[in-house]
Amino acid sequence: MVTSRLARVCSVAVAIGLVAAVTGAAWVQEAAEPAAADKKVELPTPVRKGTVSLEEAIQARRCVRQYEDRALSLAQLSQLLWAANGVTGRNHRFRAAPSAGALHPLDFYAVVGEGSVEGLAAGVWHYEPADHEITRLKEGDDREALARVALGQRQVATAEVVIAVTVEFERSTGKYGDRGRRYAVMDAGFAAENLFLQVQTLGLAACVIGAFRDTEVAELLRLPEGYRPMLLLTVGYPKANPVR
């Protein structure tokens, strides 16, 4: 009798404790991340059928260095990131671009200005392929600063969005040794070309930027230890009457 009453009291106490723990955890989470909604943005579902053929995109692709002052849509940014590194296979190891051993040593960051992408705050956004979402790692417009460390190239400052492709070599060298470095660089080339051709199909224009100071770009983007910037892709609407 006493034992069963004790058991009842204990189970009620455990239940109350559980509720408190659950609600407590929710409060803790809210307090720790007040701007969670702003920091993480779910991207629109990318389309799988466009209006410009692959052949037309290849034929028309050129490096364009002057852009209109015209915002991209979030759907366009979504499409670009998906083409570069989106999940297209049965699990997150199978992506839009090939990668040696499906190890995917690349990361993609979008450097966005104020009003550059409709509905998106300025900042440095990191793409997460598994959830097809972006997370803001840094607030503010860094395009001018990025242009300075890219040896003053103006198209970096005037593009609506600059997409930075980074490599963490250890993801490849862990399996392939030194040869993994070669594979990782090739991975970056495949992904960047996907991105470039997708730019073309959306009526946008881009330029590949390989000339920049690595350490300063890494600092500016606040890249984690071991991440190296490989290339930047400047993206915007091509200027109707470019200055020659």
Residues of the shown chain interacting with ligand FMN in the complex, contacts defined by CB under 6 A: 62-63, 65, 153, 207-211
Element (H, E) at 13: helix 2-32
> Kind of pairing, strands 161-168 and 106-112?
antiparallel
Q: How far is the CB of 138 from ligand FMN (least distance, A)?
A: 23
Our CB check for ligand FMN shows the closer of 41 and 202 to be 202
Q: Which of 231, 229, 170 is nearest to 195 (CA)?
A: 231
Q: How far is the CB of 109 from ligand FMN (least distance, A)?
A: 17
Sign of CA dihedral 226, 93, 137, 236: positive
Our CB check for ligand FMN shows the closer of 100 and 156 to be 156
The number of beta carbons lying within 10 Å of the beta carbon of residue 193 is: 16
* Helix, strand, coil fractions of the chain, as percent rounded to 5: 45, 20, 35
Our CB check for ligand FMN shows the closer of 62 and 93 to be 62
The residue sitting closest to ligand FMN, measured at its beta carbon, is 210
| 114 DSSP 8-state letter | T
Q: How far is the CB of 174 from ligand FMN (least distance, A)?
A: 25
Our CB check for ligand FMN shows the closer of 119 and 210 to be 210
Our CB check for ligand FMN shows the closer of 34 and 210 to be 210
Q: How far is the CB of 81 from ligand FMN (least distance, A)?
A: 20
CB 231 within 8 A of CB 188: yes
Taking the C-alpha atoms of residue 153 and residue 213, their distance in angstroms, rounded to an integer, is: 12
Taking the C-alpha atoms of residue 143 and residue 141, their distance in angstroms, rounded to an integer, is: 6
CB within 8 Å of 202: residues ≥ 6 apart: 50, 76, 79, 80
Q: How far is the CB of 64 from ligand FMN (least distance, A)?
A: 8
Q: How far is the CB of 78 from ligand FMN (least distance, A)?
A: 25
Our CB check for ligand FMN shows the closer of 41 and 217 to be 217
